[in-house]
Amino acid sequence: MKVKINRTILELTQGNITNLNTLAIVNAANSSLTLGGGVAGAIRRKGGPKIQEECNKMGGTHVGGAVITTGGNLKAKYVIHAVGPRHGEEHEDAKLKDATLNSLVLADKHNLETIAFPAVSTGIFGFPKDRCATIMLSTTIAYLEGPTKLEKVVYCLYDQDTFNIFKQILQSLTEKR
């Protein structure tokens, strides 16, 4: 599914984010930037040790923050490590919004035209997928309504259930436009 927000394409796709040909992919990171399981594990396995080495040098970032490393052996040239909240922690919605917004700002700061997001915090952090989709998509749409160099933002959802949730919410958010 694709929609256009100003001059930027916002696209939903299902699959493995490490296979995408975007300039940057977003890692659903933890605050220590340790590439463990889920999206981070897939990035570690496919991208090689260089990404973790760069993360180790940074030492971590706060929940809601985002940092950038090279993409190692990935198709993507960069990985933006966005730290989403654990379900049940204080101000979790605002932290997920910040992680999304900080990733978009970082992509623009580095003059990246394309970026791909997973459903941040919905894996081991247990964040509800429908709330994640609403927060991340509405934040992205609002950002794209302003000045940006981004030409394409992709949400790459790993399974059919998550894809369907994001599709339904994107449809409802763009029908109101």
| CA–CA separation, 40 and 43 (whole Å) | 5
Burial (CB count within 10 angstroms: exposed 0-12, middle 13-18, buried 19+), residue 150: buried
CA distance 105 to 160: 29
CA distance 163 to 176: 20
2 - beta bridge partners?
11
Confidence at residue 177, expressed as pLDDT on a 0 to 100 scale: 61
Alpha carbon distance 152, 110 (integer Å): 15
Residue 176, pLDDT score? 62
Average pLDDT per block of 10 residues along the chain, 177 residues long: 96 96 96 90 93 94 97 96 96 98 98 97 95 98 97 97 98 84
Q: What one-character DSSP code corresponds to residue 88?
A: T
- DSSP state at residue 17: G
Contact 10, 143 (CB under 8 A): no
Residue closest to 140 by CA, chosen among 166, 168, 160, 164: 166
Q: For residue 48, what pLDDT is reported? A: 94
Q: What is the pTM of this model?
A: 0.96
Question: With the C-alpha atoms ordered 52, 57, 61, 66, is the resulting torsion angle positive or negative?
Answer: negative
Class of domain 2-175: alpha beta
Report pLDDT for 12.
Answer: 98
What is the sign, positive or negative, of the torsion defined by CA atoms of 159, 2, 153, 126? negative
